[in-house]
Structure 1
Amino acid sequence: MESKGEDVGTWGNCKMWSLKSLGEIAEVQSGGTPRKSKKEYWDGDIHYIGLIRPNQETISKFLYYLLLSQKLKKQADDCATGAAQKTVSLKSLRNFKVPKFSTKRQEKIVIEMDLLSEHTQRLEAIYKSKLEALKELKQSILHKAFTGQLTIDKKQGKTEAENLKAS
């Protein structure tokens, strides 16, 4: 049964918002199963595809961010069925509860999410760079340890490598 927008609930830490079903803010359709003769489609893990297209009142990028949300992922996990390959039925997907925001509010959310996304990408790049530098440092230390460059001769106060060069 589709909501008429009268449901009210929380969305994350936000105050109360009008909730609707995903089917009310977007068109949800099934795709199909690729033909078995097209082997390139069957090499991966995903064998079915669906389409979720925003309606005229929903901004596509807002829908994109909404679909990435933990709230929707939890709803998907809660209603997924199957053992080896879990599936969410189209009926269940259409009934996922989502907040109903005005177009103006959606635009503001998209701007905020875009800024957060850019910031996250910058932080990820810094993090990856630092991890690579740490990996190189570790390799350098291991190399020095195994070549005797870190061992100090207590009598002379020199590393083994320095003692070898002196002799």
Structure 2
Amino acid sequence: MKVGWEVKTLGDIADVKGGKRVPRGYKLQSEPTKHPYITVSDFTDDGTIDTSNIRYVSSEVFDQIKRYTISSNNLYLSIAGTIGKTGYVPSELDGASLTENACKLVLRPGIDRDFIYYFTKSDDFARQAGTNTRIAAQPKLALERLKTIKLPIPSSLPEQQRIVGLLDEAFEGIATATANAEKNLKNARALFESHLQSVFTQRGLGWEEKLLGDVCEFENGDRGKNYPHRSEYVESGIPWINTGHIQRDGTLSETEMNFISREKYESLRSGKIQPGDLVYCLRGATLGKTALVDPLTEGAVASSLVILRPSSVLDSRYLYSFLTSPLGQGLIKGYENGAAQPNLGAKSVAKYPISFPPIAEQKQLVAKLDDLHEETQRLESIYQQKLAALNALKKSLLHQAFNGELTGGN
């Protein structure tokens, strides 16, 4: 270990004190009082407090839990459910009550608060916290175990503060670069969606507007007594397609595919795909999820899906682009039932209006969309790689900091 450094435990450098639950028979209230009460849901990823939904306790309740408050000089740390979320409270919440699902670190003299905060963001802290967490109904990091977590720390307060200054400067630059990369990523996606939207709202020469039911055949799966059960799946056979097999790129996952026997397939009365078909999700959180069945030429669909079979006036890939466009996805809201488990009927989807040019022009538009999508994906990959590199840089800087390797030239 570097000269001037030593290994301490959190119990050595801070008093670790838990929060307190609201007494039985009382509830948190939204109406402001003099006594805010901070919960883990108020903790943010950047080490602050989200004050937009802060709740409060009455003076009567506060008198019963007044020993369990937190100061703006302390660090908070979540110890139940979400483990290891850390930060500080702003001055306006100085003296607020703290949930029993978190604790506060009251740091001893000679210990820089921000140095300890940065340590709690390191892989070393995450590893030790994970090792000491007990998993029951919900994860729990006991205070006594938390106190045993070890950290390397300079004996000199000025050295701690020097390291904090270097990390502050570096992390500020990383935050700016991350925000720019996230903005560029969002803009790349927005540009593609904007162009996709414009394709289906234009009205050129020779365009028609029809209902989907006029230009597509709809076929539901067989929901009768022959519906395949999980126990009837086989290792290989005829694809049995459900919503979970639909990928983000509009293909069907062959690696995750379920299969049924030829005999079971032949017993089904409907819901059998043909080349050029699309499958469309009618239920749940993935309502409107769409895929082309190609390259599959044979298979059957589960009850959560409906088959769309375009007529000769409609290109399959053009229809896919329409259904996955902002315009196509927006149509769902006009027909879904609004229940906790939303669903559509095939008859409702058949009422979607769609505008389209002659088939040759549809294919040209799809080719242009494919080119733009490919370019968008290339840009997304660049920005995702940059975000990953920035995150790796943060981890590297923290590793250097807590191994005494961080100098002004890093």
- Normalising to structure 2: TM-score of the pair? 0.32
Please give the alpha-carbon distance, in whole angstroms, between the structure 1 residues aligned to 2:372 and 2:381. 14
CA shift for structure 1 position 82 = 4.8
2:363 to 107, 121, 135: 107
Query: Where do 5+ consecutive residues of structure 2 fail to align?
Result: 1-197, 234-239, 245-283, 287-302
Structure 2 distance, partners of 1:18, 1:61, is: 17
- For residues 55-93 of structure 1, the C-alpha deviation after alignment (integer angstroms, 9 at most, x for no partner) is 111111111111111111111122101523211111111
User: Taking structure 1 as reference, are residues 144 and 108 closer, same or farther at Cα in structure 2, changes over 3 Å only?
Assistant: same
The SS at the match of 1:121 is: helix
- The structure 2 residue matched to 1:28, chosen from 198, 209, 218, is 218
**Residue equivalent to 2:324:** 68
- Structure 1 Cα separation of the partners of residues 199 and 369 of structure 2: 16
Q: Which structure: larger Rg?
A: 2
Spell out the pairing of 1:63-142 with structure 2 (5 A cutoff). 63-142=319-398
Name the residue aligned to 2:230.
38
| Alignment root-mean-square deviation, CA | 3.0
DSSP-derived class of the 2:364 partner: helix
Residue equivalent to 2:308: 52
Partner of 1:14: 202
Q: Which has the higher strand share?
A: 2
Counterpart Cα distance in 2 of 1:22 and 1:73: 14
CA distance in 2 between partners of 1:133 and 1:77 (Å): 39
Structure holding more helix per residue: 1
8 A contact 1:26–1:54 mirrored in 2: yes
CA distance in 2, matches of 1:51, 1:88: 13
Shift in alpha-carbon separation, 1:76–1:102, aligned structure 2, 3 A:
same
Deviates more, 1:97-106 or 1:30-39: 30-39
Query: What is residue 404 of structure 2 aligned with on the other side?
Result: 148
Give the count of matched residue pairs.
144
Q: Note if contact 1:32-1:48 (Cα within 8 Å) is conserved in structure 2.
A: no
Secondary structure of the corresponding residue to residue 105 of structure 1: helix
The higher-RCO structure (CA 8 Å, 6+ apart) is: 1
Residue identity in the other structure for 1:133: A
CA offsets 1:126-161 (integer angstroms, 9 cap, x no match): 122112211211111111222233366xxxxx99xx
Contact 1:79/1:88 (CA < 8 Å) preserved in 2?
yes
Give, as a single letter, the amino acid of the residue that structure 1 aligns with 2:363. E
5+ residue gaps in structure 1?
1-9, 153-157, 160-167
Match of 1:4 in 2: none
Is 2:200–2:355's contact at 8 Å kept on the other side of the alignment? no
**Could you list the runs of 4 or more consecutive aligned residues of structure 1 that deviate by over 4 angstroms after TM superposition?**
10-13, 39-42, 44-47
In structure 2, the CA distance between the partners of 1:37 and 1:103, relative to structure 1 (3 Å rule), is closer
Secondary structure class of the residue paired with 1:150: coil
CA distances 1:82-125 after superposition (whole Å, capped 9, x unpaired): 52321111111101011031112201211111101111221122
Residues 6-30 of structure 1, C-alpha deviations (whole Å, 9 max, x = no match): xxxx976524753210112221221
